[in-house]
Structure formats: C-alpha cells, structure tokens
Amino acid sequence: MTLLPEDLLLIRCEFLQFNLSLLGSLPKIATMRIAFISSLCLAASLFFAACGGDKDAPKDTLNSGKLTISADETYKPIIEAEKHVFDSSNPDAHVTIEYKSEAECFKDYLSGKVRLILVTRDLSDSEKQYCGSKNIVPEAMALARDAVAVIMNNSNPDSLLSLDMLRGILTGQYKTPFNVVFDNGGSSTLRFIQDSIMKGKALGTNVFATHGNDSVVNYVSKNPKGLGLVGLSYISSDDDPNNTGAFISKVKVAHLLNDSTREFLQPYQAYVALRSYPLSRNLYYIKNETYYGLGTGFANFLAKDRGQLIFLHGHLFPLRKSTILREASLDRSNP
C-alpha cells in the first residue's frame, strides 16, 4: 500500500498526540523538553509535506496543465480544428501538437516522449510486446474513418482508375507514365498504399516523396503527368457551407473502381463510411496515461459529441457517434 504525504502527516500527528498524553506522569522540566521537541518535529513534518510531498504527483488534469501530442501530419487541418474548440472550452489547458510522419509518431510514443499520438493504425503485436517490457499500458480507439484520395492534374482526360491500374502506375508499368508523389517517405499514406495496394511489390522509380500534403497538391496542380496520394482533409473544399463533400478545384480527384459493386467512386463521406471507396482507413488515438490527465481529457473530447461533430464537418466519418445514412434520389424532371 502506498501512503500519500497527507497520510504520513496524519500518522506523525497521531504519534505526537500519543507522546503528549504521557507528559502528565513526567517531571515538569522533562515535560517541557518533550513538548518542545514534539513541536519541532511537527513543524518539520508540515514543512517537508508542503515542499516535497507532491513531487511525483501529476501536474495536469482532464482540463488543465500542459501536454505535447504527436499527430500524423496528414490530419493537420482537422486536428487543428479540434484543438481550437478544445482550447476555447478549457482555458487552463495548454496542448501542443507536433505534426510529423506516422513513423515518427510511433517512435515518440514507444520512447516515452509523448503520452498520446494520433495515427492511422493500432500498435502491432511486436509493439505491444515492447510496451509490456517497458511497463507502458497502451489504450487505443478508432475515432473516425478517413480516405486516401488519388489526385491528378486537371488536364488529364481520364480520372477512372481500377486498383490494378493504380498498382501499375505505382510500379511504373502502366501504359501512361505518371510521376507519383507522396507527402514523405515515412508517411501513413505510403505505408497504407504499400499494405493495401502493393502487397509486397516494389514501387517504381517514378515514385517520389515531397514535403507534406500541401506540396503534393501543388505539384500535381502544376504537372500534367503528376499523380498524388493525399489525405481527404487536403482535397476537401472550404467553400462548402452545406458540407456536401465538394473537392478543391485546383486538382482532379480520381474515381476508383469498387471491385464488388463495379462502381467508380470518389471519396465522398458516405462511401468512406460504408468502406465502398476502396482506399478507406481509420484514425486512432493511442495513449498511455495511468491517471486522469490532459491526454485523457483531449482523447475524451475527440471521442465525444463535440469532437465527433468536428470530424463530421471535416469530411471524415465519425466512428463514436451514431449516424444514420439514408438513400436519396434527385428528381431532375422538376427543376
């Protein structure tokens, strides 16, 4: 059993009270000396309890203190929106978010540098074993569903792609040559494509890494033979007050073939929600916090109504909020 500083102080006080109860049977001079020593002991106990007793106590709570998070840079627009609302509701909380590649986020978490990361996958079995060896107790939860968008230059006449065609482009074997760009060499997007599309095949010499999702969009917009893969947040239009899923106009968003339904689909929210769009993935939080600290507070905010609503308006599909999808048809005969 671990005793807190206040418990130790209580024991000291009870011990002193017991000693003082014996004073009546001692000579007066002895009584005065014992009382003086007892007072000194009590004062010392109070001093050390006040100065050093809470040295190892947590410095943050659910809605106050300081916290540094590592987050996949693919999600910077939507996570910044989440942070803005969280900060406005919790003025005593100071959350710093460092955006970096997914590989760097996991490195920060496993080294103990941060207690919370936002990434596109859960820990692997080997990573969980490592956590166990280091007494790290991970907790992971899927927060929202995202998609990887394939973007092309607006001059490209054809934006219909099957996964086999995309694989051919990525290996450099497709009939039409493309220069393919990713956000960076350690990104979640690159790892996801290697896992879900390449399946062990090597990327071609026509595949390059740049410096972030914005750089991918800019490159493709200026190069007719450019093809990029970016997170959904980076191609969703800000000029979309009704949240209908409009895309930015500076690039063309490819339609990908769903092998089951034989439909060519773009990464609209409903298709992402149902995983009909082939390149869908989840956003997770992974935390290691054994008390109710600010990491838990921010993670709870992301998983509850307000945080989930922000994901919804950011064109991701919220996974912790009940959502009803309804089919709708457009009557073009009645303008």
Q: How many CB atoms lie within 10 A of CB 252?
A: 21
Q: How far is CA 137 from CA 33, 129, 292, in A?
A: 52, 10, 14
Question: What is the rounded CA–CA span in Å between residue 111 and residue 268?
Answer: 37
Give me the residues paired with residue 142 across strands: 284
State pLDDT tens for residues 202-256: 999 999 999 999 999 999 999 999 999 999 989 988 765 555 568 999 999 999 9
**Furthest-apart CA pair in the chain: how many Å?**
110
Which residues lie closer than 8 Å to 186 by C-beta, 6 or more apart?
101, 102, 103, 104
Backbone φ and ψ of 314, nearest 5°: -90, 10
| Torsional class of 245: left (φ above 0), alpha (ψ -120 to 50), beta (otherwise) | left
Specify the CATH architecture of the domain 65-144+282-318: 3-Layer(aba) Sandwich (3.40)
3-class SS string, 35-101:
HHHHHHHHHHHHHHHHHHCCCCCCCCECCEEEEEEEEEHHHHHHHHHHHHHHHHHCCCEEEEEEEEC
| Torsional class of 38: left (φ above 0), alpha (ψ -120 to 50), beta (otherwise) | alpha
Q: What parts of the chain have a pLDDT lower than 50?
A: 1-23, 46-49, 330, 332
In contact, 123 and 258? CB cutoff 8 Å: no
pLDDT of amino acid 18: 43
Is 146-281 the same fold as 65-144+282-318? Answer: yes
In contact, 95 and 69? CB cutoff 8 Å: yes
pLDDT of amino acid 43: 53
pLDDT of amino acid 331: 52
pLDDT of amino acid 245: 66
pLDDT of amino acid 6: 45
Backbone φ and ψ of 58, nearest 5°: -55, 140
**Predicted model pTM:** 0.79
Spell out the domain ranges in the chain.
Answer: 5-52, 65-144+282-318, 146-281
3-state SS class at 15: helix
Fold of 146-281: D-Maltodextrin-Binding Protein; domain 2 (3.40.190)
In contact, 44 and 52? CB cutoff 8 Å: no
